[in-house]
Amino acid sequence: YNEAVMAQPTFDTEIQEQDGVINGPFRFPIQMLADQEYGGHLSIHDGDQAQELGFSGAPIEGPTHFSQFDPLLYQIWGQQWYEFGCISSHFKNVVVEGDEVQAFVELPADDAKITKIWAHKKTGELVLEGTASLGPDHPETRLDALMASRDTPEKLVILELVKIGDKSPNADTVHMNFDQHLGNSYPFTLDNKLEKITEKCRWYMADEVNNSPWGKAIIPTEMISPLVGYTKSGLKGAKGPSIGLFADLEVRMIKGPLFVGQDYVLEREVVGLGESRRTESVWIKTSIKDPESGEILATTLLNSATLKQSYEKYEAEAKRIGKEL
Helices (H) and strands (E) in the chain, counts: 8, 13
Name the pairing type of β-strands 264-275 and 279-289. antiparallel
Separation in Å, CA 274 to CA 53, 98, 220, 282: 20, 32, 29, 6
Q: How high is the pLDDT of residue 55?
A: 53
- The Cα–Cα gap between 114 and 25 comes to 23
Q: How high is the pLDDT of residue 185?
A: 78
- The Cα–Cα gap between 117 and 131 comes to 5
Separation in Å, CA 270 to CA 40, 50, 139, 264, 276: 23, 27, 22, 20, 18
Q: How high is the pLDDT of residue 80?
A: 95
Q: How high is the pLDDT of residue 56?
A: 57
Using an 8 Å Cβ cutoff, are 117 and 103 in contact? Answer: yes
| pLDDT averaged per 10 residues in sequence order, the chain, 325 residues | 55 94 96 62 48 61 96 95 98 91 95 96 97 96 95 94 94 95 86 95 92 93 95 89 90 98 97 94 97 97 93 94 88
pTM value is 0.91
Q: How high is the pLDDT of residue 2?
A: 37
- The Cα–Cα gap between 83 and 215 comes to 14
Q: How high is the pLDDT of residue 59?
A: 76
Residue type, 244: G
- The Cα–Cα gap between 182 and 175 comes to 10
- The Cα–Cα gap between 243 and 40 comes to 11
Phi-psi region of 261 (alpha: psi -120 to 50; beta: other; left: phi over 0): left
* Residue among 85, 106, 96, 102 nearest 30 (CA): 96
Burial class (CB in 10 A: 0-12, 13-18, 19+), 266: buried
